[in-house]
Amino acid sequence: AKEQYHEFVIQEASVTRLCREHSIMTVNGQFPGPALEIDEGDSLIVRVINRGRYNVTVHWHGVRQMRTGWSDGPEYVTQCPIRPGQSYTYRFTVAGQEGTLWWHAHSSWLRATVHGALIIRPRAGVTAYPFDAAGEPPAREIPILLGEWWDMNPIDVVRTATRTGAAPNISDALTVNGQPGDLYRCSSKDTTTFPVKSGETNLLRFINAALNTELFVSLAGHTMTVVGADASYTKPYSTSVLMIAPGQTTDVLVTFDQPPGRYYLAARAYASAQGVPFDNTTTTAIFDYSSSSSSGSRSPAMPTLPAYNDTATATTFTTNLRGLRKAELPSRVDENLFFTVGVGLFNCSRGQTCGGPNNTRFAASMNNVSFVLPSTVSILQAHYGGAQQGVFTADFPANPPVQFDYTAQNVSRALWQPAPGTKVYRLKYGAAVQLVLQGTNIFAGENHPIHIHGYDFYILAEGFGNFDAATDTAKFNLDDPPMRNTVGVPVNGWAVIRFVADNPGVWLMHCHLDVHITWGLAMAFLVEDGVGELQSLEAPPPDLPLC
Ligand code: C2O
C-alpha cells in the first residue's frame, strides 16, 4: 500500500455564477475541490492550511477511520477548528472500502463550496471490480458532484437564520460539478459537458454534495446500473432514475448505446416535506457522443424526472439496493436503541422576536435532545483527557422520553419540546448495536438522511408509520442488506440499522441536511476501548488545533 501526501490550502477564489461574481472559499482555488484518487489500503496524509477568513475543519465522509479518530474532522467533536493562519495534518488509511466517498468542510456551512471526491479503486492483485467478469476497470470513470449554489455567501445565510431562528434561505441553483447548466440565467456556456464514446461502458461516480436537497437524477435515453453506494458494492440494479440524499454516493454503469448525439443528465429535488419551501430548479449537464456536426447541433434530449414529492419512486430506489455479498452480522444484539429524528420548535426567549412559525425558533432533535456543540474543547479531547465535566454528559437516552404517535399530523407541540444538550451515548467496544431511527412529524415529516461517522452499517429494513417491533422485525433483511454510511429515514417512517462498535472514539451521528444539523439534529456515540477507555487510540497529534 502506498502513502499519498497532499496540501489543501483553504483560500478564497473568485467565480461567476448566475450572472454575478462571488468570492468563495475553496481548496487550492478549485471549485469543486481536488479529487483524491487512491487504491484500497492506501494512506492519505493531508495538510490543511487555512488561509481563509473562517475557522475550518475537513471531514473524510465515509472513511472508517479505524482508531484514527483525531483525523475524522467534525468541529468541536473530534477537534477544535483550524483558525485562519493555522494548519493541521490529517493522517488515515482507507482499508476495506472501495468505490466513491468524498471530503468536505465540517464547519458551519463551508461545505457548500469546500468539497471534493475521494475515489477508492481496487488494489491491483488483491481486489478487483466485481462487475466486470475479468475484473477490468471500466473504459472511463467520471466523478459527478451534485451541489447547491446560493446567490450570496452561504455562511451569511446560516448566520442570519441562526440569529433569528427562522428557516435559512433556500438555494438559488443546483449544480453538476459546480455548474448550474443550461436552464439557469447566464449559465449556458459553462454547462458541464462529458465527452463520451459511442459503445463504451463508463462508471459514473455520483456524489450528492448539496447542503439541503435530496436529488432525483436521470440521464436521457440511458439505463443506469447501480453497482455501488457509499463505497460498498451492491448487486447490479438497473433503473432510469436515482435518488441520492446529501452525503450519499452512488456508482453507476452506463453504456452509451443510443444514436450518437447529446443527452442531458438532469437532477432536481426530491422534497418529501409538505409545505416546506425548497429549491425547485433543475440542473443539467451534457453527455456528448455526437458523431457529426448535425447530431451535435440539435438540442440535447431531456430525461423525465419524477415529481418533486414522488416518495414512492424515492423509496423504490433505496429499498431495491442490496449488498453484493452476504452480510456479516453477529446473531446477537447487545444494544437495542430507538432514536426519534425530527424537526421541532423552541419557544422564543422572553422579550425577543423570533423568525420561526408563530414567534418560535426552529429546532431539531434526536430523542428530544437538540445537540449543542461544545466551544472550549472537542468532545474527543475532553474524553481522552478525562476532563468531560462541563463539556458533555453521557446520558443520551436509549429510547424516546415520551411515547406517542410519532407520525400523526398536528401532534401537540407541548408533547415534544426539545431540550438543548451535549449528550453522548456510551457503547462498549465490540457491542452489536441495533438502532431504530423513527421519523417524527412535529413541525413537518421529512426524509432525513442520517449519517454516522467512523462506521458503515447495514440497513435491515425501512417502512412508513410507527415502527412496531412485533410485526416489523419480520421484515429485516439479514441476508444481503445494503451497507452504507448514510440512510434515508423515510418521511413519516422508520429505518433499522445494525453495526458492531469496533472503532473506539467519539463519532457524530447527524442528519446530513445542513439546515437540520444547524438546528441540532445530531448526537454522538462514545465507543470505549475493550481494555480501558480509548487506550488504543493514539495520543492527539502535536498539531491538533486548540480552541
Ligand atoms: Cu458528511 Cu458529519 O458529515
Give the chain's domains with CATH numbers: 1-128 (2.60.40.420), 131-322 (2.60.40.420), 335-527 (2.60.40.420)
Residue 340 confidence class, pLDDT cut points 50, 70, 90: very high
Give the Cβ contact number of residue 368 at 10 Å.
20
pLDDT at 292: 74
Give residue 530's pLDDT band: very low, low, confident or very high (50, 70, 90): low
Q: Give 323's pLDDT tier (boundaries 50, 70, 90).
A: very high
- pLDDT of 245 > 70? The answer is yes
| pLDDT of 339 above 90 | yes
Which atom of ligand 1 has the smallest separation from the CA of 246? 1
Report how far residue 342's alpha carbon sits from residue 325's, in angstroms, rounded to the nearest whole number: 33
pLDDT of the residue at 448: 97
The total number of residues written for the chain in this structure: 547
Residue 124: what pLDDT?
86
Tell whether ligand 1 has an atom less than 6 A from the beta carbon of residue 111.
no
453 lines ligand 1 (CB under 6 A): yes
Confidence band for 535, pLDDT divided at 50, 70 and 90:
low
ipTM entry: 0.99
CB 454 within 8 A of CB 500: no
Question: Is residue 536 pLDDT above 80, yes or no?
Answer: no
Put residue 417 in one of left, alpha, beta given phi > 0 → left and psi -120 to 50 → alpha: beta
CA distance 241 to 252: 11
Confirm or reject: Cβ of 247 under 6 Å from ligand 1.
yes
CA-nearest of 219, 484, 175, 465 to 327 is: 484
How far away, in angstroms, is 301 Cα from ligand 1 center? 35
pLDDT at 297: 73
Q: Which of ligand 1's atoms lies nearest the C-alpha of 517?
A: 2
Angle at 310 between CA 307 and CA 312, to 5 degrees: 150
Is the confidence at residue 529, as pLDDT, over 90?
no
Q: Is 454 in the pocket of ligand 1 (CB under 6 A)?
A: no
Task: Give the H or E element holding residue 379.
Answer: helix 379-384
What Rg value do the Cα atoms of the chain yield, rounded? 22
Q: Is the CB of 268 under 6 A from ligand 1?
A: no
Q: How far is the CA of 139 from the centre of ligand 1 (A)?
A: 31
362 pLDDT above the threshold of 80: yes
Return the closest-CA partner of residue 246 out of 233, 232, 230, 225: 230
For ligand 1, say whether the CB of 418 is within 6 Å of any of its atoms: no
Q: Are 129 and 137 in contact (CB under 8 A)?
A: yes
| Cα 177 to ligand 1 centroid, rounded to whole Å | 19
Measured distance CA(328)–CA(325) in Å, rounded: 9
CA distance 534 to 489: 31
Which protein residue has the closest C-alpha to ligand 1 atom 3?
A: 61
| Pocket of ligand 1 contains residue 104 by CB under 6 Å | yes
Average pLDDT, the chain: 95
What pLDDT does 534 receive? 52
Confidence grade of residue 75 (pLDDT, cut at 50, 70, 90): very high
Classified as helix, coil or strand, 415 is helix
374 and 389 in contact (C-beta within 8 Å)?
A: no
Determine the pLDDT at residue 411.
Answer: 81
For ligand 1, whether the C-beta of 450 sits within 6 Å is: no
Whether the predicted pLDDT of 26 surpasses 70? yes
Distance 254 CA to ligand 1 centre (A): 28
Is the distance from the beta carbon of residue 74 to the nearest atom of ligand 1 less than 6 Å? Answer: yes
**What are the strands, taking DSSP E only, across 179-299?**
193-195, 201-208, 214-219, 224-229, 232-239, 242-244, 249-255, 262-270, 282-288
Task: Tell me the helices (H) and strands (E) count for the chain, helix number first.
Answer: 6, 32
> How confident is residue 494, by pLDDT bands cut at 50, 70 and 90?
very high
Band the pLDDT of 240: cuts 50, 70, 90: very high
- Answer yes or no: is the C-beta of 205 below 6 A from any ligand 1 atom: no
